[in-house]
Amino acid sequence: MAYAQPGHYWLRDETEHERALAYLTTGTACQLALRDENTRYVLVAYPPGATS
């Protein structure tokens, strides 16, 4: 899946996972921006109970 290539490094990065978890457990949204040749992807995760 070519569209998944930009995120492969993130899947193996334990430090980044811990950082995302720390944000979410303190009630803060976590954002991940990825790029490939023609597209920029922005993924946002909100903690449970967040309104936006």
pTM attached to this predicted model: 0.68
**Cβ–Cβ < 8 Å for 31, 40:** no
pLDDT in the model for residue 23: 92
Angstrom distance (rounded) from CA 34 to CA 51? 24
Q: In one letter, which amino acid is 35? A: R
Would you mind telling me the total number of residues written for the chain in this entry?
52
| Structure confidence at residue 30 (pLDDT) | 93
Q: Rounded to whole angstroms, how far apart are CA atoms 41 and 31?
A: 10
Q: Where are the alpha helices (DSSP H) in 1-52?
A: 8-11, 14-25
User: What is the chain's mean pLDDT, rounded?
Assistant: 84
Tens of pLDDT, residue by residue over 1-52, are: 556 666 778 888 899 889 999 999 999 999 988 887 888 889 999 988 876 5
Q: Which pLDDT value is given to residue 34?
A: 86
